[in-house]
Amino acid sequence: MTARFLDGIRVLDLSQFLPGPFATQMLADLGADVVKVEPPRGDPMRDLNPITNERGPGPFHAAVNAGKRILRLDLKTDEGRAAMETLVGGADVLLESFRPGVLDRLGFGWPRLSELNPRLIHCALSGYGQTGPQRLWAGHDINYVAMTGALDATGPEAIPQPAFPPIADYGGALQAVIAILGALVGRGQSGRGVHLDVAMADAVLAWQAYGMVQAGLAESGSGSAPARGRDLLTGGAACYGVYETRDGRFVSLGAIEEVFWKNFCTAVGKPAWVDRQLERMPQTDLIADVEDLFKGKDRDDWDALLVPADCCYHPVLTYGELADWPQIEARGLLAKAPAGQVFGGIGFPVIIDGATPAERQPVSEVSVDQVLVTWKARP
């Protein structure tokens, strides 16, 4: 089944690399007609090929742009700008990821866009936002996360560790989609478009309430600030962590609630550990004991013992295991790669009326004229 919630909505995607294209792919999954506008040389993502480390067509561009049509325009030429004006006139949403000011210099700042199409929703997705002293700073995911406090709390005690996949990129994309969907609902009531300023750093900052509450308690003297390797969710508790098994693989344990920790201790034959769950963190000694326990068996042995124990246990899967994992197979989101390809695609992660999403159509290249046949300005 293909979601058609946004059937009839036209989206112009002027973004590059990962965050913007992932956002518009979700809109396409929801039924929008997405046309991606790339410069004559194409999105630089086309040349990002970590599989062979060679320049040339890479798999990432096709993966994150499946379900869209792509055309190439030179917005520095009169012809290109004229075509863009027509596209804007017929669009409902325009998403771009330029640095602040770039679109203005190309002649398509928000005042001009709203003049061309008063109903247009313009989402400007950037690293630090359209305002503030860092608005023009260069950055990538690791920098945006660093600004929010999240990086300081992530990783082993000795040094902050960047997360994978890049959370600001994906978090910013999700925030952009949420804002666009809200703006579409609002436009249905007001009839007017709107300018959305979405920063990837802001998206991650919005997730920091838990850590900032803890930091605030520390300042008041009633707690301790979040610290790598020392707190419940950062590696300081034996009941919540990652452990290596005898065969060099890994498992995760998330037995935060007393009942789950008790179930774990009972299953592994360590009833004396039940009362140790509330030991002062970091629980160095208890963590060492649990580490030694898990190193005594292979991962498959732990799967057999702890999956039935209902203790918030799960093996740490590698990418190579995903396609055949029963839960992933049952949900039907991960398509197996066709012969000769490295990736089959991951569907829109919502089951609608009991049906899994249909596979996306491969990305297709079209001409401006092919799009303009249907993308006329709305009356």
Helix (H, G, I), strand (E, B) or coil at 125: strand
Separation between Cα atoms, residue 82 and residue 101, nearest integer Å: 20
- C-beta separation of 62 from 51 below 8 A: no
Domain boundaries, the chain: 10-206+344-372, 240-244+250-315
Q: What band does 56 get if pLDDT is binned at 50, 70 and 90?
A: low
Confidence class for position 362, pLDDT limits 50, 70, 90: confident
How confident is the model at residue 58, as a pLDDT? Answer: 67
Res 341 pLDDT > 80: no
The CA-to-CA distance between both ends of the chain, in Å, stands at: 31
The pLDDT value recorded for residue 50 is: 57
Task: For residues 274-293, give the mean pLDDT.
Answer: 97
Place of tokens 């803890």: 214
Average pLDDT rounded to a whole number, residues 336-346: 79
Instruction: Please say whether the beta carbons of 196 and 122 come within 8 A.
Output: yes
Sheet holding 33-38, edge to edge: 194-199, 121-126, 93-96, 10-13, 33-38, 69-72, 364-365
Average of per-residue pLDDT across 348-369: 89
Could you read off the pLDDT of 152-192 as tens digits, one per residue?
A: 999 999 999 999 999 999 999 999 999 999 999 999 999 99
pLDDT for 70 beyond 70: yes
Q: Which of 47, 74, 140, 195 is catalytic?
A: 140
Structure token pair of residue 293? 């326990």
As a whole number, mean pLDDT of residues 109-133 equals: 97
* Catalytic residue check, 61: no
Say how far residue 186 (Cα) sits from the centre of its chain. Answer: 25
pLDDT at 377 over 80: no
342 token code pair: 């490295």
At residue 57, the pLDDT reads 58
The band of 103, judged by pLDDT with boundaries at 50, 70 and 90, is: very high
* Residue 289 token pair: 């004991």
Catalytically annotated residue among 13, 92, 169, 202: 169
Question: Catalytic: 122?
Answer: no
**Structure tokens belonging to residue 140:** 């990538």
366 or 215, greater pLDDT: 366
Residue in the block written with tokens 């999954």: 29
Pairing of strands 250-254, 364-365: unpaired
Can you tell me the mean pLDDT for 125-135? Answer: 97
Q: Residue 18 above 90 pLDDT?
A: yes
* pTM as predicted: 0.93
DSSP 193: -
Superfamily of domain 10-206+344-372: Crotonobetainyl-coa:carnitine coa-transferase; domain 1 (3.40.50.10540)
